[in-house]
Structure 1
């Protein structure tokens, strides 16, 4: 009976890493990736005379070399902090309580259109007819994909529901349509990895197919809003063409593309993250370091690390990188500065609590009140030992 059940459920057969391991790796990997990218970016901008190391093995030591560097990092905005706030909201509300994008805009202190307007209000209808200005969200960029990581984790088991949750950001998509495809692509890839269905050789083709299907489906977005362009798909295919290219040549081509893509930088930032992950899908360290080499952008390294973490689990993250988080005081650590959590243990506790909320744990208040306790959490309807 057990073997028949396993044969009917390929997810049980191929479970290389537990969901707990993958959840933790997505969040911790993303935090480490953002720290590495931010520190490399800051060191390069503030110390231009310091030559960036050419060897991949030395780049991580260079990026994590000075934990006090966090004091010189300007948060504008700190997407990791936004993600942490969303995690806490999902834990408390169990998902679906409020629109996640409203929470994001609230954390960023960006005014947003109230979703509970009276439909028959003359004032509201006249404002819409006259095309009253709405916020164009200049603070929102490719980092929104980082903020959406908790949404991808929480709704990973149901891609259709995940897509519906992402569509709640229609107030952003109508002003930043180029971001819609990128955020959906990252979330879709994470969903595949968490369900043990991500095939690196087919991922780009599956994402392109999913995006094309998504364009054909009716959405809640304003019909008068501009439609999503093919910009992200073009950038995705461009970076895919670099898979057989040397690092130096790929770097030159990407920097040339960056100089030409002033209106598509966010799409390219996310596409580069896919390229870096898929270039070495089984090696977390090389993927993230390649991202730091190709594009000194914290969002690129963060998203690369999230993708690789979901695919390879927590054990793939180098211990030397994790130990760098504990150097010096937690108050001034880059992790606290960028993500608003004092230690790796605190981030892992949030990850486990998010997994517990997803699996339907009964007493989430108890989890929040006693974060130091260890709980056994299993996915629902999955055969497991007693």
Structure 2
């Protein structure tokens, strides 16, 4: 092994935070200078909380997974209700990427069993995305419930088990048809 499992877990969590920041335009006005980002213009003078709502949801999911030893959606929601009940308003509202971020701890927890990982990811996504969407319906032209979480979760599992081959990852183009 090149890296310890603990360091790979840390990398997954850091990657989730960095990915969310970049995905939400959090680095507008930043340029890469050498190996660091430098601010070229002030963006916002308001202090920001350390974790976004979806990162907080993922953190409570982690606590639930550890305390229960399995995915328990009711316990996950109870953890949130006890700590920060305002996050419950986000139930059934997540975009694909937000649901994928919320389920990163599930990918880390179940990374050794692909079948169980897929089942658990879909259960986790179902908590945060609209209940009216069909989990089983997927097409490359229109990603649906759980697709992003499955792709990201499986890539995380491959990375954690050191079976990730970047050239074999499936990249689906969602560009509009002419």
With normalisation by structure 2, the TM-score equals 0.69
Distance across 2 between alignment mates of 1:143 and 1:101: 20
CA drift of 1:18 comes to 1.1
Distance 1:198 1:100, change over 3 A: farther
Q: Which residue of the other structure, out of 137, 144, 162, is the alignment partner of 1:196? A: 162
Query: Larger radius of gyration, structure 1 or 2?
Result: 1
CA drift of 1:27 comes to 1.1
Alignment-derived partner of residue 83 in structure 1? 58
Identify, as 1 or 2, the structure richer in strand: 2
Q: Is the 8 A contact 1:39 1:69 kept in 2?
A: no
Distance 1:32 1:166, change over 3 A: closer
Please list every run of 5 or more consecutive structure 2 residues that lacks an aligned counterpart in the other structure. 135-143
Deviations 1:255-278 (A, max 9, x none): xx5xx69xxxxxxxxxxxxxxxxx
Please list every run of 5 or more consecutive structure 1 residues that lacks an aligned counterpart in the other structure. 1-14, 45-51, 113-136, 205-235, 240-256, 262-386
SS of corresponding position for 1:109: helix
CA drift of 1:156 comes to 0.4
> Does 2:110 correspond to 1:179?
no
Alignment-derived partner of residue 26 in structure 1? 12
SS of corresponding position for 1:61: strand
Q: Is the 8 A contact 1:105 1:111 kept in 2?
A: no
Deviations 1:110-164 (A, max 9, x none): 497xxxxxxxxxxxxxxxxxxxxxxxx2x31121111101000000011111112
Question: How much is the aligned-residue C-alpha RMSD, in angstroms?
Answer: 3.7
Distance across 2 between alignment mates of 1:179 and 1:57: 38
Alignment-derived partner of residue 172 in structure 2? 237
Q: Is the 8 A contact 1:86 1:100 kept in 2?
A: no
CA drift of 1:29 comes to 2.9
> Does 2:6 correspond to 1:40?
no
Q: Is the 8 A contact 2:60 2:80 kept in 1?
A: no
Distance across 2 between alignment mates of 1:173 and 1:157: 28
Distance across 1 between alignment mates of 2:126 and 2:21: 30
Distance 1:181 1:33, change over 3 A: closer
1:272-291 equivalences under 5 Å are none
Distance 1:60 1:36, change over 3 A: farther
CA drift of 1:167 comes to 3.0
CA drift of 1:176 comes to 4.0
Distance across 2 between alignment mates of 1:39 and 1:70: 16
> Does 2:62 correspond to 1:62?
no
| Larger relative contact order (CA 8 Å, sep ≥ 6) | 1
